[in-house]
Amino acid sequence: MFEKYVKAGEILKQVKEEVVKLVKPGVRLLDVAEFVERRIVELGGKPAFPCNISINSDAAHFTPKKNDERVFREGDVVKIDMGAHVDGYIADTAITIDLGDHEELVECAKKALENAVEVVRAGVNTAEIGAVIEDTIREFGFNPVVNLTGHGLEPYIAHAPPTIYNVRVKKGVELKEGMVIAIEPFATNGVGRVAERSECEIYSLIAVKRLRLKQERQFVEYVVNEYRTLPFAKRWVNVSDVILARLVKQGVLRAYPVLTEVSGGLVSQFEHTIIVEEDGGRVIT
């Protein structure tokens, strides 16, 4: 089991190293997203979710649409969040690439992740991890994003328990040996909260139900076979917006609207996947 997590992590390490060289002003976001997803497959895995490319005040759930012509710009703060799986065993990682002059904001989230990883071991409460993340971010003079969290990873489930907050909480969960978790601090020069905006390009299956329309049944069958419960991009599938909207309304699919910092603050993010061991945490990404 752990070998497959480790393999997924090795894939992401290589892709992460390669993608940093591609993110430059004038380059299309779509080209970078498709590169990440293609390289994961070439290296022996599958994407665990669409490559997220969230820029500036966008913090999560942005992936380019089909034929998207948007490009990176000078001054952008670019978050690349990517996942790979091997037979459903998922590794998840993220980096921030600074195309401007935001070194402190980027270093803040990176240091928060490093400090959090240092306290991971079996028996540690996730509340302690959140406290370390919050303290580190505030020491830099920035705010943690309070309603974005780290999470557990389970086969074909990209966001499983436990929830790992990026701030102090009264009660957390004790980490057990063998847990696989993703820690992902988000730092901002804004107020520290995200909300949904209307753009949405990512979906996942949450329930299989009796459906009246043949097109709906056929599409759900395709999703079950191809992605199971993992998120997929609208650009990956041949389906109308009307069908997607109907399936969301019927509780068959979950939609993932883009999450953006409510005050327009810039956001940075770093993330590692870690296997919890008795005397520490083994970083695999």
For residue 59 the two structure tokens come to 């913090």
Q: How far apart are CA 87 and CA 270, in angstroms?
A: 25
Tens digits of residue pLDDT in 21-42: 999 999 999 999 999 999 999 9
What single string gives the DSSP state of each residue in 152-206? EEETTEEEEEEEEESS--S---B--TT-EEEE--EEESS-S-EEEEEEEEEEEE-
> Pick the catalytic residue: 61, 102, 151, 272?
151
- Assess whether pLDDT exceeds 90 at residue 1: no
Active site residue 271: yes
pLDDT band at 168 (very low <50, low <70, confident <90, very high): very high
Handedness of CA 138, 142, 147, 151 (dihedral sign): negative
What percent of the chain stands above pLDDT 70? 100
Tens digits of residue pLDDT in 95-139: 999 999 999 999 999 999 999 999 999 999 999 999 999 999 999
> Residue 91: enclosing H or E segment and its boundaries?
strand 89-98
For residue 36 the two structure tokens come to 């990440």
> Residue 12: enclosing H or E segment and its boundaries?
helix 2-19
Question: Where does residue 17 rank: exposed (0-12), middle (13-18), buried (19+ CB within 10 A)?
Answer: exposed
> Pick the catalytic residue: 92, 98, 134, 201?
92
The mean per-residue pLDDT over the stretch 222-250 comes to: 97
pLDDT score recorded for residue 32: 98
pLDDT band at 224 (very low <50, low <70, confident <90, very high): very high
The chain-wide mean pLDDT, for the chain, equals 97
> Pick the catalytic residue: 184, 201, 216, 261?
184
pLDDT band at 212 (very low <50, low <70, confident <90, very high): confident
Angle between helices 103-119 and 126-139 (to 10 degrees): 150
> Pick the catalytic residue: 76, 81, 98, 216?
81
pLDDT score recorded for residue 263: 98
pLDDT score recorded for residue 57: 98
Tens digits of residue pLDDT in 188-208: 999 999 999 999 999 999 999
The mean per-residue pLDDT over the stretch 140-153 comes to: 98
The mean per-residue pLDDT over the stretch 173-195 comes to: 98
Handedness of CA 220, 60, 35, 18 (dihedral sign): negative
15: left (phi over 0), alpha (psi -120 to 50) or beta: alpha
pLDDT band at 277 (very low <50, low <70, confident <90, very high): very high
Tell the residue number behind the tokens 């003079």, with chain if given: 141
Active site residue 31: no
Q: How far apart are CA 180 and CA 217, in angstroms?
A: 34
Q: Is 168 in contact with 192 (CB distance < 8 Å)?
A: no
pLDDT score recorded for residue 106: 98
Question: Where does residue 103 rank: exposed (0-12), middle (13-18), buried (19+ CB within 10 A)?
Answer: exposed
The mean per-residue pLDDT over the stretch 61-77 comes to: 97
Active site residue 241: no
> Pick the catalytic residue: 37, 61, 271, 272?
271
The mean per-residue pLDDT over the stretch 274-283 comes to: 96
Active site residue 81: yes
> Pick the catalytic residue: 114, 135, 159, 277?
159
- Assess whether pLDDT exceeds 80 at residue 92: yes
Q: Is 195 in contact with 258 (CB distance < 8 Å)?
A: no
